[in-house]
């Protein structure tokens, strides 16, 4: 009985992890249940994946290739916390498919577009999960291929900006030999490196509002005189409420640093109007009312926040901690599901 | 005194008369300072106003009253519920919270503020112990750490009534995502007059500054099992404090530096370093 069960299980393993089944997973990701496809792929041992990909590269149609890259990318994202060592293997599988797409005749431009979006997702994924060394490795690779892509340059800046809080071996700033600077100096240098990347991105695309927002906020923290202009322009060019919310918040933060407390309160209030269920404007306003000599109003705002039916989506948290590039991810998913 | 209301200036908590008594209006601002006196790790008991010397901006003041362990407490538990607490640490934190709740007296109030990146008034100030226990049982560990924002909000949510207020802050890490700066939150604390005790797992310079600014104390847990003992020790320490009141003879706006020392008795004094008006 035990032997029969073992034989059956072995047979199932062979069936489940065949190249045919791999293609079925890709198709399930394309047009069925993407999450189920990712879960099924997660059960495959690495040698079986390698074998299936070797066979499938000759079999998959062009329209299936993006889905194949994405199912591995989504699996990498899903296991990043629990199995970080296997994440890179999954991303390598995705790269195999990106290379296969690039090798397709007459699809070079499309393959480049897919790869650019894929890099955006991978860089932001690693950065948002504090894997800054890996993020930096992929950023160098991405910019080696696409040195004048403003969004990829922006992501490189965002990685540097996050790195200033990090004490990991990741050291993006080249230091003079034999001198270990104080952490504050190192943090400042990292921030300046980030600002340089944002400026480079804006030189290539002056309307990249997200880069301007980051640059303006760095300037605000450095007491740079250009901070207000950058943030005001970012506000003008903001394409969505998220950017508008952050621009008002940062203009408030800048005014507060400059002890223009009435202006700060006004900007924080505007930020609250754009994001009435977000936590940060209430915290900022409560604090500024205290400074303005309105302790009752400060307390009232704290109570208003406590009573608020909130959604866990304050853009400040994503801004400060990093977040996956939703726009690139949505684009890739749409391409993977395209018929 | 002329009839009316007793004025309360920011950060100077006036002792309000019970509602049944006449209410008076005055420009007099009574300052309350919670003082801890310890010797050999134990509270020094039995002190009177004759044992204290107090200066306000360097000017000696008459300590009008010294009260110990008579006023009820308003205890706000400000608990880290970020992702790093997943597992046994969260279980020990819940036990510690329950132990503190049990140690409260019938006229004490308690509130529960929890924070990850999101700060929540999970249970408003209440005498309902079961509400606190139920909320603790439902705690989930997730997200990042907005410690500074949580402290500012918890200070603002304190009811500022006749009771003595204690914020008991627990965190196992460092702030990762607050909007407010350290200096901003320390200023909030200095204006409040609240005592803040901290139980922590890792050393953190901000937490040291926080307790210093509020005249509170910090305890470092060497293991998760110790949380329960430290929570109740923090409560006991608050109860053993002396509440000194005085009417400042120096009537200037701004920061008032307060120094408290002992006369004819040995001990280590911990009190907030001053107040703003």
Backbone angles phi, psi at A14, to 5 degrees: -65, -45
> Is residue B43 located within the same domain as residue B85?
no
DSSP state of A106: T
Q: What percent of chain B has pLDDT over 70?
A: 90
Of B153, B177, B180, the CB nearest to A302: B153
Put simply, the answer to whether B188 touches A305 (Cβ < 8 Å) is no
Determine contact, residues B1/B25, Cβ cutoff 8 Å: yes
Sort out which chain B residues have CB atoms less than 8 A from A253's CB and list them: 179
- Reduce the DSSP state of residue B276 to 3 states and report it: strand
Residue to substitute from A285, A294, A302, interface B, most B β-carbons within 10 A: A302
Q: What does the alpha-carbon distance between residue B273 and residue B210 come to, in Å, rounded to a whole number?
A: 11
Put simply, the answer to whether A299 touches B117 (Cβ < 8 Å) is no
Q: What is the pLDDT of residues A150-204, one digit of tens each?
A: 999 999 999 999 998 765 545 444 333 334 444 678 888 899 999 999 999 999 9
A293 touches chain B (CB under 8 A): yes
Determine contact, residues B184/B225, Cβ cutoff 8 Å: no
Angle in degrees, 0-180, between the axes of helices A150-163 and A209-221, rounded to the nearest 10? 30
Q: What percent of chain A has pLDDT over 70?
A: 88
Averaged pLDDT, A261-274: 98
- Reduce the DSSP state of residue A46 to 3 states and report it: helix
- Tell me the count of A-B CB pairs closer than 8 A: 65
Show me where the domains of chain A are located: 1-104
> Is residue B107 located within the same domain as residue B38?
no
**What secondary structure does DSSP assign to B154-217, as a single string?**
HHHHS--SSSEEEEEEEESS---S-SS-HHHHHHHHHHH--EEEEEESS--HHHHHHHHHHT--
> Is residue B51 located within the same domain as residue B13?
yes
- Reduce the DSSP state of residue B36 to 3 states and report it: strand
> Is residue B249 located within the same domain as residue B233?
no
Residue A313's pLDDT is 86
Single pTM value for the model: 0.87
Residue A164's pLDDT is 84
Q: What does the alpha-carbon distance between residue B50 and residue B61 come to, in Å, rounded to a whole number?
A: 12
> Is residue B257 located within the same domain as residue B180?
no
> Is residue B253 located within the same domain as residue B194?
no
The more confident residue out of B71 and A249 is A249
Averaged pLDDT, B151-172: 94
Please give the sequence-ordered ranges of beta strands (E in DSSP) within chain A, or none if there are none.
Answer: none
Token digits for A113? Answer: 């577009």
Burial A30-65 (b: 16+ CB within 10 A, else e): beeebeebbebbeebeeebbebbbeebeeebeeebb
Sort out which chain A residues have CB atoms less than 8 A from B188's CB and list them: 287, 290
> Is residue B84 located within the same domain as residue B217?
yes
> Is residue B152 located within the same domain as residue B254?
no
Q: What is the pLDDT of residues B105-122, one digit of tens each?
A: 999 999 999 999 999 999
CA dist A237 → A166, A208, A210 (Å):
31, 8, 9
> Is residue B99 located within the same domain as residue B155?
yes
Q: What does the alpha-carbon distance between residue A101 and residue A92 come to, in Å, rounded to a whole number?
A: 14
**pLDDT of B1 higher than 60:** no
Put simply, the answer to whether B156 touches A286 (Cβ < 8 Å) is yes
> Is residue B230 located within the same domain as residue B246?
no
A290 touches chain B (CB under 8 A): yes
Of B144, B187, B191, the CB nearest to A317: B144
Token digits for A127? Answer: 């950065």
Q: What does the alpha-carbon distance between residue B66 and residue B46 come to, in Å, rounded to a whole number?
A: 10
> Is residue B10 located within the same domain as residue B43?
yes
The more confident residue out of B49 and A32 is B49
Determine contact, residues A56/A23, Cβ cutoff 8 Å: yes
CA dist A63 → A66, A101, A111, A275, B17 (Å):
7, 9, 11, 40, 79
Residue to substitute from B81, B143, B179, interface A, most A β-carbons within 10 A: B179
The more confident residue out of B197 and B26 is B197
Place of tokens 């600014």: B213
Residue of B nearest to A293 (CA): B10
Among residues B237, B260, B245, the alpha carbon closest in space to that of B66 is found at B245
Q: What does the alpha-carbon distance between residue A278 and residue B274 come to, in Å, rounded to a whole number?
A: 34
Place of tokens 């430290």: B230
> Is residue B91 located within the same domain as residue B193?
yes
Tell me how many domains chain B contains: 2
Residue A14's pLDDT is 45
Of B10, B118, B152, the CB nearest to A286: B152
Put simply, the answer to whether A286 touches B119 (Cβ < 8 Å) is no
Q: Which residues pair with residue B166 across a beta bridge?
A: B75, B195
Of A290, A305, A312, the CB nearest to B191: A290
Residue B7's pLDDT is 28
B78 confidence band (pLDDT: 50, 70, 90): very high
Put simply, the answer to whether A283 touches B153 (Cβ < 8 Å) is yes
Residue to substitute from A286, A288, A304, A308, interface B, most B β-carbons within 10 A: A286
Helix (H), strand (E) counts: chain B: 6, 17
Interface residues on B facing A, Cβ-Cβ cutoff 8 A: 10, 117-121, 124, 143-144, 149, 152-153, 156-157, 176-180, 184, 187-188, 191
Backbone angles phi, psi at A131, to 5 degrees: -90, 70
CB atoms within 10 A of CB A174: 8
Averaged pLDDT, B169-187: 95
Across chain A, what does the average pLDDT equal?
Answer: 89
CA B77 to chain CA centroid, nearest Å: 10
Range of the domain at B204: 73-239
Q: What is the pLDDT of residues B225-251, one digit of tens each?
A: 999 999 999 999 999 999 999 999 877
């Amino acid at each position: 009985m035990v032997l029969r069960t073992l034989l059956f299980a072995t047979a199932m393993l062979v069936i489940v992890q065949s190249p045919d089944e791999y293609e079925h997973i890709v198709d399930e990701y394309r047009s069925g249940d993407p999450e189920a496809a990712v879960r099924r792929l997660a059960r495959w041992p690495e040698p079986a994946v390698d074998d299936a990909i070797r066979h499938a590269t000759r079999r998959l149609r062009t329209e299936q290739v993006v889905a194949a890259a994405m199912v591995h990318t989504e699996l990498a994202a899903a296991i990043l916390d629990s199995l970080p060592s296997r994440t890179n293997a999954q991303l390598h599988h995705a790269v195999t498919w990106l290379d296969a797409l690039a090798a397709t005749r007459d699809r070079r431009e499309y393959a480049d577009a897919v790869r650019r979006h894929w890099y955006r997702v991978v860089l932001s994924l690693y950065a948002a999960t504090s894997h800054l060394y890996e993020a930096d490795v992929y950023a160098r690779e991405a910019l080696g291929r696409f040195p004048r892509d403003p969004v990829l340059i922006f992501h490189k800046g965002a990685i540097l900006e996050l790195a200033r809080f990090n004490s990991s071996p990741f050291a993006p700033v080249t230091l003079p030999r034999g001198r270990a600077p104080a952490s504050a100096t190192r943090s400042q240098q990292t921030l300046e490196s980030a600002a340089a990347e944002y400026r480079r991105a804006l030189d290539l695309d002056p309307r990249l509002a997200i880069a301007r927002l980051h640059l303006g906020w760095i300037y605000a923290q450095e007491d740079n005189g250009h901070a207000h202009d950058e943030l005001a322009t970012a506000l003008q060019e903001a394409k969505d409420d998220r950017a508008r919310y952050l621009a008002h918040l940062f203009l408030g933060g800048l005014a507060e640093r400059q002890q223009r407390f009435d202006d700060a309160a006004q900007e924080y209030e505007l930020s609250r109007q754009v994001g009435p269920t977000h936590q940060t404007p209430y915290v900022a306003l409560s604090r500024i009312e205290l400074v303005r000599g309105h302790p009752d109003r400060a307390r009232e705002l704290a109570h208003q926040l406590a009573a608020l039916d909130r959604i866990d989506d304050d853009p400040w948290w994503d801004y400060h901690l990093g977040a996956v590039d939703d726009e690139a991810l949505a684009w890739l998913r749409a391409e993977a599901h395209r018929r | 005194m002329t009839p009316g209301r007793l004025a309360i200036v920011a950060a100077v908590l006036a002792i309000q008369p019970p509602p049944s008594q006449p209410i008076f209006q005055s420009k007099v601002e009574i300052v309350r300072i919670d003082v801890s006196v310890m010797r050999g790790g134990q509270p020094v008991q039995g002190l009177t106003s004759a044992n204290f010397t107090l200066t306000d901006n360097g000017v000696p003041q008459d300590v009008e009253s010294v009260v110990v362990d008579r006023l009820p407490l308003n205890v706000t538990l400000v608990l880290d519920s970020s992702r790093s607490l997943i597992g046994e640490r969260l279980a020990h934190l819940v036990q510690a919270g329950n132990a503190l709740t049990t140690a409260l007296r019938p006229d004490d109030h308690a509130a529960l503020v929890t924070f990850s990146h999101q700060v929540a008034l999970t249970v408003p100030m209440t005498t309902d112990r079961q509400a606190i226990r139920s909320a603790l049982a439902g705690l989930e560990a997730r997200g990042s750490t907005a410690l500074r924002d949580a402290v500012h909000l918890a200070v603002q949510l304190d009811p500022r009534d006749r009771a003595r207020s204690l914020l008991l802050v627990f965190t196992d890490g460092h702030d990762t995502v607050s909007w407010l700066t350290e200096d901003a939150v320390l200023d909030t604390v200095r204006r409040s007059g609240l005592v803040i005790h901290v139980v922590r797992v890792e050393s953190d310079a901000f937490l040291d500054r926080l307790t210093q600014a509020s005249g509170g104390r910090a305890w470092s847990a060497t293991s998760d099992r110790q949380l329960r003992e430290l929570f109740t020790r923090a409560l006991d320490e608050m109860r053993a404090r002396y509440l000194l009141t005085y009417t400042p003879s120096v009537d200037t706006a701004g920061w008032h530096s307060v120094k408290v020392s002992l006369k004819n008795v040995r001990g280590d004094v911990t009190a907030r370093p001053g107040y703003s008006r």
